[in-house]
Chains A and B, each alone.
Chain A
Amino acid sequence: MAEQMSDDDERQQSPPSDLDFTSNKARTCIVTGSVSGHTEFQSLYPDQVLENVLENVLHFLTSRRDRNSASLVCKSWYRVEALTRSELFIGNCYAVSPARATARFTRVRALHLKGRPRFADFNLMPPDWGAHFNPWVLAFAKACPWLEKVYLKRMSVTDDDLATLAESFLGFKELVLVCCDGFGTSGLAIFVSKCRQLKVLDLIESEVSDDETDWISCFPEGESHLESLIFDCVECPINFEALERLVARSPSLKKLRLNRYVSIGQLYRLMVQAPQLTHLGTGSFSPSEVAGQGDQEPDYVTAFAACKSLVCLSGFREIIPDYLPAIYPICANLTSLNFSYANITAEQLKPIISNCHKLQVFWVLDSICDEGLQAVAATCKELRELRVFPVDAREDSDGPVSEVGFQAISEGCRKLQSILYFCQRMTNAAVIAMSRNCPDLVVFRLCIMGRHRPDHVTGEPMDDGFGAIVMNCKKLTRLAVSGLLTDKAFDYIGRYGKLVRTLSVAFAGDSDMALKYVLEGCPQLQKLEIRDSPFGDAALCSGLHHYYNMRFLWMSSCRLTHQGCQQIARAMPRLVVEVIRSADEEEVYDRVQTLYMYRSLEGPRNDAPKFVTIL
């Protein structure tokens, strides 16, 4: 699940990669003046040597931050860095055009693109907003035929794009699609049939339409190079016999995550073929309907015990808890466990979790209640990341987890770095406790599901709790707030959240001051997403000094007007200011429903749908 962690969990990035072109040009102009003055005296030869040496050295530079810095030294370094950059990361696919990217980086092997803003996941934006992979695949097909790896997040990929990908890049090895859509099983079929060197096909939380094509059968015959096959999000039945044969002829397969159409009996057969797996997604983890015809149950325990390298376990999509004991043999080795689709109780969890001493990443449903969390806290001393999802994602549902479980975790799991916690009730005291117990926190996302809900015990706003987090957790880079919050909470964030790069705000704050505190106080802020908060044009203007340093700003259902947004657009020519209406809204009222703005070298995009107005 490391792939799913956002890039905020990585080291901080400066200067930003997607806009270093302009700053480069500005800088190198000044620099090369003096450099070229020097080199005029020298012959070409030393320059050439220097560049060759540089090229060999820069090959070893992998961090994109370091590369961005290196490219700023002088024109020569810029050129060589561009030649040696093999992994290209573009955090906003509209910040730079495919043409510009391929013109500068000609030898790219891996492309990492991100598209839609995150709030689009929650239906806050009509579909077909954009983020199409198509222009990218076409541009790279022409310019970088040795591209081997593509990683896309929140982009629209069509079947044709998949075909182009497979046909244009002969040595293509890895495709990872996270939260993508626009393609179906027929696209997958073409892709796998033509990618003879394929090592990795990871489909993670993507929407795959069921074209009733048997794509598993389309993997070429003969030994496959597959190392990772993740398709747990594919919501259509697959040809199991074909899958079994595929696994049997994939000796390098390490990661296999099955979808819910694979029964536990079928899982058994696969595990027997592939005991070398390190990552396993179990599929449904229940018997198929036709089972129980008097067939003997396979020995699941032995099958799991044979997988001595298994460290990451997920799936359990339609779990029958009776089968849980099968995983006992491997609990002690697990570093990552995803139970977030398994509606299990604390009692069912305890025998498992009490053996998971090495667990670092744990995703679970709140069905385990505070009691289950206490069990986690008691055993999982190495826990780095915890995500607790709601079984019933509604504002007024019963809350099986609360500040009790939260505090228990903070006391037991001192090495915690990342937490996402959905609950119905919380107290400042528990949040303050966590800020003290878990000083290594980098990601803190607390979602109190009831809007404007105060401290459950004191009735106070949750200001002090979040304030303590930004004060005490000195490494914090990502923060999501909730509950009843006044401007004071944002004052704290602005004052202490000096490393915060991503901030998510919903139904919070009293006035423009809140947003001002943040925009003026957080120099590292790159991604700001706000919904349903009383921030208006004045607040928006207070961030003018900072917007070029940010990847994007999202504000929906706030108090922005067209004039206000227009002002920003005029003041900042390199910013694309999109005003997004909901799909059925015809009239252009003065109030802006959704503002999405981002820096870009290309100006307004030409693929904006009707409901988007670019100011």
Chain B
Amino acid sequence: MEVGRKMANMLGTDDDLNFKETELCLGLPGGIAVVAAGNETESSSSPKTNGKRGFSETVDLKLNLQSKESTMDLNKNLDDNGSKEKSGSAKDPAKPPAKAQVVGWPPVRSYRKNIMANQKNSSEESGNSGAALVKVSMDGAPYLRKVDLKMYKSYQELSDALAKMFSSFTMGNYGPQGMIDFMNESKLMDLLNSSDYVPSYEDKDGDWMLVGDVPWQMFVDSCKRLRIMKGSEAIGLAPRAMEKCKSRA
């Protein structure tokens, strides 16, 4: 997550906006697909409003730069106003110094180049080095969101992010920590009996678990998707959570 913060500083935007920009969702990278009502208003103009050409230009630049694919780089290129470089430079230090890439050579259409680049992106995403993207649904919310779990270092950070994401919908008061205190059994039971929302997740085995019972990194590795459900509905999950807690304690 050190990397995450570094990237945020590179972009030079405040944390909220940074989070919004780096969020990956359905749709073209860099394009803004779903905007949750009640979130901070979009200040940066999407490539869409500027016209599609910006996108193909930036992706072409991405290839020229041979940088690790991430939307953060993409956004940075957008800020650069898609200036065309006559000869790109290999900015990725990991690769050996490559010949300067010439514009439009080899003569493969941007359309095709983009597709190959996107394919590479998605295969990297599913690997360990890429982002850990999971869908987040909230009962009663009309649409899903996606978060990259690798952006956060702790449950606390995740809880803050989720709270902001779904702030327009009723969120219970989780106490000073923000998220339910997983270690506190009685508090847990109180909350589950209320109508407040609790986060649950589906793990690798396909089981739905309460968030917070395993160490953070283990959670990131095993979580496939998140669901924020009403506390009362989560009752069925709690015993299992308690069991796992107890077996570890």
Binding site for B on A (CB under 8 A): 119, 121-124, 127-128, 179, 181, 205, 207, 209-210, 212, 233, 235-237, 289, 293-294, 317-318, 340-341, 343, 389-396, 422, 447, 449, 451, 504, 506-507, 531-532, 582-584
Q: Which residues of B contact A212 (CB under 8 A)?
A: 33
Q: Which residues of A contact B52 (CB under 8 A)?
A: 181, 207, 209
Q: B31 contacts A233, CB within 8 Å?
A: no
Q: B116 contacts A393, CB within 8 Å?
A: yes
Q: Of all chain B residues, which has the CB nearest A125?
A: B104
Question: Within the complex, which residue of B108, B113, B119 is in contact with A422, where a contact is CB–CB below 8 Å?
Answer: B108
Interface status of B26 (Cβ within 8 A of chain A): yes
Q: Of all chain A residues, which has the CB nearest B56?
A: A207
List residues of B (27-53) whose CB comes within 8 Å of A's CBs. 27-28, 31, 33, 48, 51-53
Q: B28 contacts A210, CB within 8 Å?
A: yes
Closest chain-A Cβ to B237's Cβ sits at a distance in Å of 18
Question: Within the complex, which residue of A128, A318, A396, A507 is in contact with B99, where a contact is CB–CB below 8 Å?
Answer: A396
List residues of B (89-142) whose CB comes within 8 Å of A's CBs. 98-99, 101-113, 115-116, 119, 122, 135
Contacts A451-B105, A506-B105 given; does A236 touch B28 at CB 8 Å: yes
Question: In the bound complex, how far is the Cα of B52 from the Cα of A209, in angstroms?
Answer: 6
Given contacts A119-B107, A181-B53, 18 further A-B contacts (CB under 8 A): A121-B109, A121-B110, A123-B57, A123-B60, A181-B52, A205-B111, A233-B111, A236-B27, A237-B27, A289-B135, A389-B108, A389-B112, A390-B106, A391-B116, A392-B116, A394-B101, A395-B106, A396-B98
Interface size on B, residues (CB 8 A): 36
Q: Which residues of A contact B31 (CB under 8 A)?
A: 210
Binding site for A on B (CB under 8 A): 26-28, 31, 33, 48, 51-53, 56-57, 60, 63, 83-84, 98-99, 101-113, 115-116, 119, 122, 135, 206
Question: Within the complex, which residue of B83, B99, B113, B135 is in contact with A393, where a contact is CB–CB below 8 Å?
Answer: B113
Q: Which residues of A contact B206 (CB under 8 A)?
A: 293-294
Closest chain-A Cβ to B17's Cβ sits at a distance in Å of 22
Question: In the bound complex, how far is the Cα of B116 from the Cα of A124, in angstroms?
Answer: 20
Contacts A207-B52, A210-B28 given; does A122 touch B104 at CB 8 Å: yes
Q: Which residues of B contact A392 (CB under 8 A)?
A: 116
Question: In the bound complex, how far is the Cα of B185 from the Cα of A100, in angstroms?
Answer: 84
Question: In the bound complex, how far is the Cα of B118 from the Cα of A235, in angstroms?
Answer: 11
Question: In the bound complex, how far is the Cα of B122 from the Cα of A237, in angstroms?
Answer: 16
Closest chain-A Cβ to B204's Cβ sits at a distance in Å of 11
A-B contact pairs, 23 of them (CB 8 A): A119-B104, A121-B107, A121-B110, A122-B105, A127-B51, A128-B53, A179-B109, A207-B52, A207-B111, A209-B51, A209-B52, A210-B27, A237-B27, A318-B119, A340-B112, A389-B112, A390-B106, A393-B63, A395-B101, A422-B106, A451-B102, A504-B107, A582-B84
Question: In the bound complex, how far is the Cα of B103 from the Cα of A253, in angstroms?
Answer: 41
Q: Which residues of B contact A396 (CB under 8 A)?
A: 98-99
Question: In the bound complex, how far is the Cα of B105 from the Cα of A447, in angstroms?
Answer: 10
Question: In the bound complex, how far is the Cα of B57 from the Cα of A343, in angstroms?
Answer: 24
Q: Which residues of A contact B48 (CB under 8 A)?
A: 209-210
Q: Of all chain A residues, which has the CB nearest B135?
A: A289
Those 6 A-B pairs whose CB atoms lie nearest each other, nearest first: A122-B104, A393-B108, A127-B53, A449-B106, A121-B109, A124-B104
Q: Which residues of B contact A451 (CB under 8 A)?
A: 102, 105
Question: In the bound complex, how far is the Cα of B119 from the Cα of A216, in angstroms?
Answer: 25
Q: Which residues of B contact A584 (CB under 8 A)?
A: 83-84
Q: A123 contacts B110, CB within 8 Å?
A: yes
Q: Which residues of B contact A390 (CB under 8 A)?
A: 106, 108
Closest chain-A Cβ to B125's Cβ sits at a distance in Å of 11
Closest chain-B Cβ to A15's Cβ sits at a distance in Å of 30
Q: A343 contacts B119, CB within 8 Å?
A: yes
Question: In the bound complex, how far is the Cα of B96 from the Cα of A396, in angstroms?
Answer: 11
Closest chain-A Cβ to B90's Cβ sits at a distance in Å of 10
Q: Which residues of B contact A123 (CB under 8 A)?
A: 57, 60, 84, 103-104, 110
Q: Which residues of A contact B119 (CB under 8 A)?
A: 317-318, 341, 343
Closest chain-B Cβ to A60's Cβ sits at a distance in Å of 38
Contacts A341-B115, A582-B84 given; does A447 touch B122 at CB 8 Å: no
Q: Which residues of A contact B103 (CB under 8 A)?
A: 122-124
Q: Of all chain B residues, which has the CB nearest A447?
A: B106
Question: In the bound complex, how far is the Cα of B236 from the Cα of A71, in angstroms?
Answer: 83
Question: In the bound complex, how far is the Cα of B26 from the Cα of A127, in angstroms?
Answer: 27
Q: B109 contacts A205, CB within 8 Å?
A: yes
